[in-house]
Structure 1
């Protein structure tokens, strides 16, 4: 990040997008993904970016992520080496700040974790939760043979559901994200039986509306995340004592309710 800010100052007439792609060695598609997940606006005033970066440094969030991932790797080893990227969140991203506690994240299929974080001390507990959630994605993605091309809606439901149960098991209820409460348990059962169960083999981009919701298709906001959590809950009610290690390596079809 410091290198990018220095480059902006040194080459004021150069496209910031081109500088960013070169410095971070990213394709345009990869930049679009990071922008979707809320990284800072490339055209923001350099003084604002420098101030936010200094705040991020003072909060030691990079070391916080490193330390938490080191603990996770020791406790739940994964054969694939883990890497992460940390960016400043776009301060105008009210959705992430208000709905997600100031942290946006994803795990790509190569095993790299990505975090966009609003530089504020209030974000620390949310960041801890998200680190654990994303680490479990990394763990499960490399425990199974799921790929970006063959991942079904059922795979996505269980990927998210197990990640939240991992957070709950390791950190406690207070660290759960907002996803579970998008639906009541009865609403989740009804939607699973009426819609999601029938569409569980859907592939690709079509699965997004089931996960995130769609007014046009009358699918609730974060519905897939909530149903994923409850699918794992219902599995545990029938298979009491199943460990997170066992479930992480279990095929998604085993969680059909």
Structure 2
């Protein structure tokens, strides 16, 4: 639940003065056209500070099939908003294309969802706008963690506690390991196979994994 306070009220006024809603709408219309994406509602709130879910400078977001939420610091640059929007709107586009509810998503689905979204950021906004998790671990570390910790749990559903712990890297799991594994799997896929935005929305999660060294079947 979002809880406003005196500081968030001041941030809201600053965001409004900087016409954040106007330039965010332009970003939305740009990618809706570019990706033939769905009509959605976009909600903007002042950021409540940094934390696990923050990307850079305290910004974060949450996506659903028909809406997304952006939590923004008052001094955020327009290109940072675009990077966050690309990540979250890619989620929305893929969720709609996969034709299943979020409650049906497995850990594998969530990992690939995050990896694809961050590659969308890299492609459309540049590497410097990627999340910190993209370079947090070496390829060898991720492969080892995949085999030992992640692969045995890929069928966990989104509403299961262990799903969230692995994806976000809550103790005893390494921080953001699910996000990092997703990025690395998609990176490996892009090295070997033809990649497009349309494919990133429509292809099943298993397809991206089975074309890399992280194959689901040993």
| Alignment partners' CA distance in 2, 1:237 and 1:71 | 28
Q: 1:144 Cα deviation (Å)?
A: 0.8
Decide which of 120, 145, 148 is 2:99's aligned counterpart. Answer: 145
Q: Secondary structure at the match of 1:95?
A: coil
Query: What is the CA RMSD across the aligned residues, in angstroms?
Result: 2.0
Instruction: Tell me the residue number matched to 2:170.
Output: 214
> Superposed, which structure 2 residues align to 1:3-82 within 5 Å?
32=1, 35=2, 41-42=3-4, 44-45=5-6, 48-78=7-37, 80-82=38-40
Which whole-Å CA distance do the structure 1 matches of 2:206 and 2:33 have between them?
Answer: 29
Write out per-residue CA displacement over residues 73-128 of structure 1, whole angstroms, 9 at most, x where no aligned residue.
111012x31111111122xx24279863221111024x20101111114x433222
In the alignment, structure 1 residue 179 sits paired with structure 2 residue 136: no
TM-score, length-normalised on structure 1? 0.75
Q: 1:235 to 1:170 in 2, by over 3 A?
A: same
Higher Rg: 1
Gaps of 5+ in 2: none
Pair 1:49–1:94, CA change in 2 (3 A):
closer
Q: Matches of 2:134 and 2:102 in 1, distance apart?
A: 24
Partner of 1:223: 177
Contact 1:155 1:252 in 2 (8 A): yes
- 5+ residue gaps, structure 1: 1-31, 36-40
* Residue in 2 that maps onto 1:106: 62
Matched residue, 1:8: none
1:219/1:96 CA distance change after superposition, 3 Å: closer
1:54 is displaced (CA, Å) by 2.2
1:115-158, CA deviations, whole angstroms, 9 ceiling, x for partnerless residues?
A: 1111114x433222100101100110011123122110000001
Counterpart for residue 117 of structure 1: 72
TM norm structure 2 = 0.87
